[in-house]
Amino acid sequence: MGIGEFRVAKAPERLGAYGLGSCIVVVLWDPLGSGWGGLAHCMLPAAPEWERGKTTAKYCDLGIPALHSALAEAVGRPGPFTARLVGGATMFRFPDLVRRSPSLGERNAEASRAALEKLGLVPAGEECGGERGRSVEFDPGDGVVAVRSAPRGLRLM
């Protein structure tokens, strides 16, 4: 899935996002056995005013509620859903800026947590931060999120 996109799917279809750096992938899953889940690939923490009202996952504050709404529509109810976060790495170091402000990846992770909190969700799992890229695959059938990174390898959440 590309940057700024979100999608819901029913098993046996799988969803994925590859080559994440500072971007965040948010996975929402219906744990009640419907086989539905969704994934949003967010690039920036918050949309500027002129982007408000669009349905996009480019921004965490717009993409996460849009994903939640799409999944609720697919399953026919507003939840409960399980959330997981992946990404938010600090891919580039700028020594003068590091002391002054959080990295883009850190801001994306925080914005994602805040957007989930507004929906009444707390991430059940996170693989965020650090200085390495990641790839994600999600199986809505069993809710397993597979995260691959170097040198860590495969991690299941």
Distance, in Å, from the CA atom of 69 to the CA atom of 66, rounded to the nearest integer, reads 5
The pLDDT-based confidence of 82 (bands split at 50, 70, 90) is very high
Is the four-CA dihedral 44, 46, 52, 56 of positive or negative sign?
A: positive
Q: Amino acid identity of 124?
A: A
User: What pTM was estimated for this model as a whole?
Assistant: 0.91
State the DSSP code for 44: B
Locate 127 and state its tokens. 């693989």
Supply the DSSP symbol for 31: T
Q: In order of start, what are the domains of the chain with their CATH numbers?
A: 6-156 (3.30.1330.200)
Position 147 pLDDT exceeds 90 = yes
- Whole-number pLDDT of residue 94: 63
Give mean pLDDT, residues 127-152: 92
Note the pLDDT tens digit of each residue in 24-68: 999 999 999 999 999 999 999 999 888 887 778 999 999 999 999
Kind of pairing between the strands at 6-10 and 15-20: unpaired
Tell me the two tokens of residue 41: 């690939």
The residue-averaged pLDDT of 8-34 equals 97
What is the DSSP secondary structure assignment for residue 119, as one 8-state letter?
A: T
pLDDT tens-digit readout, 90-133? 877 666 555 567 889 999 999 999 999 999 999 999 999 998 89
